[in-house]
């Protein structure tokens, strides 16, 4: 990974590309790379859909090696949804393939005149940027079917669906999984809209003829990877819960904790949650001939994913994740897994974030467009997004826009981005993360649900404000560092609970680069990323007043615990004091 590919989509006479040495960005991967380039090269006051914005695609620093779990790809830009810096990462095959091709990043710059649509093909033989207007208006599934016939079997694809072409604010970038299905999405923050603004419909990556990246010390690397995998397998969350039931194992847990946002964040318990739990979902998948344990990329040993089929055993979608099951399920009062699976497929096909879309549907229900619990109505609403109707475009711009258009006060967003499946009143630690992260409400930016509810990585009372700021701060720092390695964030559970597994990861990174790495180095990396991101957001106009939850979380107690969010503004302002 010693080079960066820059494609100027707005060059005179048509797109031009050049490959340059990685230079000052050497050694960076994933989020560290995307945020460094965006901070340095993008004007913070630019229009996110304009020529001045850039879309940076970067594999993690361990991607393309034999390190387990290292296949996350990061995409960064100024977000059209939040107006701040954005890093959104996904699984799928793209990171491993791009890293083996030797690219530390692809940077899409500029913006073409006219309405031609482009595809970019990258292989060991070089780069081709070509017009392909036959791809216009294709949703992700038919798009991949069409492209698959034209490229090598090894190719990985990063694409936008119709939502990206329409530049909708919740548009995602799809990454194909090992079965070449467009199921893994850089979902958050409207990265797909930025790719659409640059008129790039598909990036095709083919690593035929390329080899794995070799560590400096192969023996130490292999040994560390073995210890790392042992650590993943012995931890109850990554070794048992996630492989057996997927992320949706959390439905019953969060519902029991009274922290499961229901009916657009009105209550913390959904009476029909058991119908859509991970346990029921896995049983149904296996009974119907689907798959309950599956990796979203080769090299994943946790395998939290799966394949959801209908009652005749026909493919519907990948196993919907907990956040999706919640956003389209309990959040909207829907308790039918087949309806939720259909909505998940529609989101992936049109290319929109399942969380912001589910939250938008919840807000639309609050506005009275359809009643809570109306599954068929929810499907009709999401289909409007694919059709590009005015209503569909509103919903495809996420919960905040939907709330503004329909005059709804209860809109669960921070910095324009929808919250996830944890109510910040009954999990106060996640409220601190939602409020303060550079990314807009994003549970993954500092997953305080671990110490608050799962009792992993610490033990804090979720209903009390004490200790939450410090916990969120530490988790945000650690997450920024993990997001730079290409490692799936689920490794954080054993890393935080088992010192020997954390040491194994340090040893693995160290053996790869031929250095000795310490925990302090990881902390320093995480802090440096957050500092860059905070500074970008400040220059984009964000102040401490943007690090706040919507006021209804401070005014409306949530049943069953009847609590409000109690972390003070003064304490929220201390998150980045280190
Ligand atoms: S644990 Fe799940 S999300 Fe993470 S890499 Fe594996 S399948 Fe993908």
Instruction: Encode pLDDT of 460-509 as tens digits.
Output: 999 999 999 999 999 999 999 999 999 998 999 999 999 999 999 999 99
Which atom number of ligand 1 is nearest to the Cα of residue 242?
A: 1
pLDDT for res 99: 97
Q: Which pLDDT band holds residue 1 (cuts at 50, 70, 90)?
A: confident
Which atom number of ligand 1 is nearest to the Cα of residue 304?
A: 2
Which atom number of ligand 1 is nearest to the Cα of residue 238?
A: 1
Burial annotation 357-370 (CB, 10 A radius, 16+ → b, else e): bbbbbbbbbbbebb
How far, in Å, from the CA of 422 to the mean position of ligand 1?
20
144 with 176: CB under 8 angstroms? Answer: yes
Render 238-299 in DSSP notation, one character per residue.
Answer: IIIIHHHH-GGGHHHHHHHTT---BTTTTBS--TTGGGG-HHHHHHHHHHHT-EEEE-SSTT
The average pLDDT across 506-519 equals: 94
How far is residue 209's CA from residue 220's CA, in Å, rounded to a whole number?
A: 26
How far, in Å, from the CA of 265 to the mean position of ligand 1?
28
Beta strands across the sheet bearing 305-309: 291-294, 305-309, 315-318
pLDDT for res 543: 98
Structure-token pair, residue 409: 């006060």
Question: Is residue 538 classed exposed, middle or buried when 0-12, 13-18 and 19+ CB atoms within 10 A define those classes?
Answer: middle
pLDDT for res 2: 92
Q: In this predicted model, what pLDDT tens digit does every residue of 122-152 receive, in sequence order?
A: 999 999 999 999 999 999 999 999 999 999 9
Is the C-beta atom of 375 inside 6 A of ligand 1? no
How far is residue 231's CA from residue 502's CA, in Å, rounded to a whole number?
A: 9
How far is residue 354's CA from residue 320's CA, in Å, rounded to a whole number?
A: 10
Within 10 A of 196 (CB to CB), how many other CB atoms are there? Answer: 26
Whole-angstrom CA distances from 128 to 2, 131, 159, 256, 497 are 20, 10, 16, 53, 46
Q: Identify which of 70, 72, 91 to mutate to test ligand 1's pocket (most ligand atoms within 8 A of the CB).
A: 91
Among residues 238, 247, 248, the alpha carbon closest in space to that of 300 is found at 238
How far, in Å, from the CA of 459 to the mean position of ligand 1?
25
Which DSSP category does 481 fall into?
A: H
Report how far apart the first and last C-alpha atoms of the chain are (Å, whole number). 32
Runs of H (alpha helix) within 127-277: 140-148, 162-165, 191-197, 218-234, 236, 242-245, 250-256
Mean pLDDT of the chain: 97
Q: Say whether 104 sits in a helix, a strand or coil.
A: strand
pTM of the model: 0.97
How far, in Å, from the CA of 54 to the mean position of ligand 1?
28
Which atom number of ligand 1 is nearest to the Cα of residue 294?
A: 7
Q: Identify which of 68, 235, 249, 488 to mutate to test ligand 1's pocket (most ligand atoms within 8 A of the CB).
A: 488
How far, in Å, from the CA of 247 to the mean position of ligand 1?
9
Is the C-beta atom of 346 inside 6 A of ligand 1? no
Is the C-beta atom of 488 inside 6 A of ligand 1? yes
- Residue with the smallest CA separation from ligand 1 atom 2 is 304
Q: With the CA atoms of 404, 89, 538 and 523 taken in that order, what torsion angle do they form, in degrees rounded to the nearest 10?
A: 140
pLDDT for res 75: 98
Mention every residue, 6+ apart, whose C-beta is less than 8 A from residue 479.
444, 445, 446, 447, 489, 492, 526
Query: Looking at the chain, how many residues does it have?
Result: 578
Is the C-beta atom of 486 inside 6 A of ligand 1? no
Is the C-beta atom of 494 inside 6 A of ligand 1? no
pLDDT for res 28: 95
Q: What percent of the chain has pLDDT over 70?
A: 100
How far is residue 442's CA from residue 429's CA, in Å, rounded to a whole number?
A: 12
Is the C-beta atom of 81 inside 6 A of ligand 1? no
How far is residue 63's CA from residue 515's CA, in Å, rounded to a whole number?
A: 18
Is the C-beta atom of 302 inside 6 A of ligand 1? yes
The average pLDDT across 517-533 equals: 96
Among residues 325, 422, 410, the alpha carbon closest in space to that of 366 is found at 410
- Residue with the smallest CA separation from ligand 1 atom 8 is 296
How far, in Å, from the CA of 242 to the mean position of ligand 1?
9
Which atom number of ligand 1 is nearest to the Cα of residue 300?
A: 6
Question: Is residue 133 classed exposed, middle or buried when 0-12, 13-18 and 19+ CB atoms within 10 A define those classes?
Answer: exposed
How far, in Å, from the CA of 6 to the mean position of ligand 1?
29
Is the C-beta atom of 305 inside 6 A of ligand 1? yes
Is the C-beta atom of 245 inside 6 A of ligand 1? no
- Before 425, cis peptide (omega within 30)? no
Which atom number of ligand 1 is nearest to the Cα of residue 247?
A: 2
Whole-angstrom CA distances from 347 to 356, 387, 399, 505 are 10, 13, 15, 35
Q: In this predicted model, what pLDDT tens digit does every residue of 239-287 receive, in sequence order?
A: 999 999 999 999 999 999 999 999 999 999 999 999 999 999 999 999 9
Which DSSP category does 562 fall into?
A: T
pLDDT score of 410 more than 90: yes
Q: Identify which of 302, 321, 486, 491 to mutate to test ligand 1's pocket (most ligand atoms within 8 A of the CB).
A: 302
How far is residue 114's CA from residue 126's CA, in Å, rounded to a whole number?
A: 26
Among residues 383, 341, 313, the alpha carbon closest in space to that of 163 is found at 383
Among residues 137, 16, 114, 34, the alpha carbon closest in space to that of 79 is found at 34
How far is residue 355's CA from residue 227's CA, in Å, rounded to a whole number?
A: 35
119 beta partners: 130, 202
Is the C-beta atom of 295 inside 6 A of ligand 1? yes
Structure-token pair, residue 285: 């998948």
How far is residue 56's CA from residue 47's CA, in Å, rounded to a whole number?
A: 16
pLDDT for res 122: 98
Is the C-beta atom of 304 inside 6 A of ligand 1? yes
């Amino acid at each position: 990974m010693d080079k960066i590919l820059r494609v100027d989509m707005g060059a005179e006479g048509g797109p031009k590309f050049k490959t340059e040495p990685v230079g000052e960005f050497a050694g960076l991967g994933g989020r560290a790379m995307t945020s460094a380039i965006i901070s340095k090269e993008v004007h913070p006051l630019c229009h996110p859909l304009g020529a001045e914005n850039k879309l940076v695609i970067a594999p993690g620093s361990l991607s393309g090696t034999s390190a387990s779990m290292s296949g996350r790809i990061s995409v960064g830009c100024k977000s059209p949804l939040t107006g701040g810096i954005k890093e959104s990462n996904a699984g799928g095959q793209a990171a491993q393939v791009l890293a083996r091709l030797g690219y530390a990043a692809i940077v899409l710059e500029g913006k073409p005149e006219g309405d031609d649509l482009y595809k970019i093909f990258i292989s060991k033989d070089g780069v081709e940027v070509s017009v392909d207007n036959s791809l216009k208006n294709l949703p992700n599934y038919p798009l991949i079917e069409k492209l698959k016939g034209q490229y090598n079997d090894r190719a990985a694809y990063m694409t936008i669906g119709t939502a990206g072409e329409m530049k909708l604010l919740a548009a995602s970038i799809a990454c194909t999984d090992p079965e070449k299905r467009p199921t893994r999405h850089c979902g958050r923050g409207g990265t797909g809209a930025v790719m659409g603004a640059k008129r790039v419909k598909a990036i095709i990556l083919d690593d035929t003829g390329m080899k794995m990246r070799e560590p400096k010390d192969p023996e130490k690397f292999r040994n560390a990877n073995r210890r790392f995998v042992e650590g993943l397998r012995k931890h109850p969350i990554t070794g048992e819960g996630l492989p057996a039931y997927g992320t949706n194992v959390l439905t019953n847990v969060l519902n029991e904790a009274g922290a499961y946002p229901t009916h657009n964040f009105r209550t913390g318990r959904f009476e029909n949650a058991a119908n859509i739990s991970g346990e029921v979902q896995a049983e149904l998948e296996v009974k119907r001939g689907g798959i309950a344990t599956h990796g979203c990329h080769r090299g994943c040993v946790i395998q939290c994913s799966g394949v959801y089929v209908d009652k005749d055993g026909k493919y519907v979608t990948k196993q919907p994740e907990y956040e999706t099951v919640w956003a389209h399920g309990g959040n909207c009062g829907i308790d039918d897994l087949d309806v939720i699976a259909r909505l998940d497929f529609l989101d992936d096909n049109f290319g929109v974030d399942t969380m912001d879309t589910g939250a938008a549907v919840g807000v639309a229900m609050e506005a009275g467009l359809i009643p809570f619990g109306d599954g068929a109505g929810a499907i009709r609403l999401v289909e409007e997004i694919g059709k590009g109707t005015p209503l569909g475009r509103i919903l495809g711009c996420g919960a905040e826009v939907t709330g503004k258009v329909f005059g709804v006060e209860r809109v669960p967003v921070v910095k324009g981005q929808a919250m996830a499946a944890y109510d910040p009143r009954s999990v106060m630690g996640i409220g601190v993360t939602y409020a303060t992260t550079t990314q807009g409400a994003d549970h993954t930016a500092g997953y305080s649900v671990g110490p608050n509810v799962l009792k992993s990585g610490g033990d804090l009372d979720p209903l009390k404000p004490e200790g939450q700021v410090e916990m969120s701060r530490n988790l945000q720092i650690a997450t920024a560092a993990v997001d730079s390695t290409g490692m799936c964030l689920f490794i954080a559970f054993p890393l935080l609970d088992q010192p020997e597994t954390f040491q194994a990861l340090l040893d693995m990174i160290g053996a790869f680069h031929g250095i000795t790495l310490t925990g302090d180095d990881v902390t320093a990396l995480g802090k440096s990323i957050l500092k860059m991101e905070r500074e970008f957001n400040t220059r984009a106009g964000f102040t401490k007043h943007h690090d706040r939850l919507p006021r209804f979380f401070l005014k409306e107690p949530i049943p069953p615990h009847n609590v409000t969010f109690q972390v003070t503004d003064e304490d929220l302002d201390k998150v980045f004091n280190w």
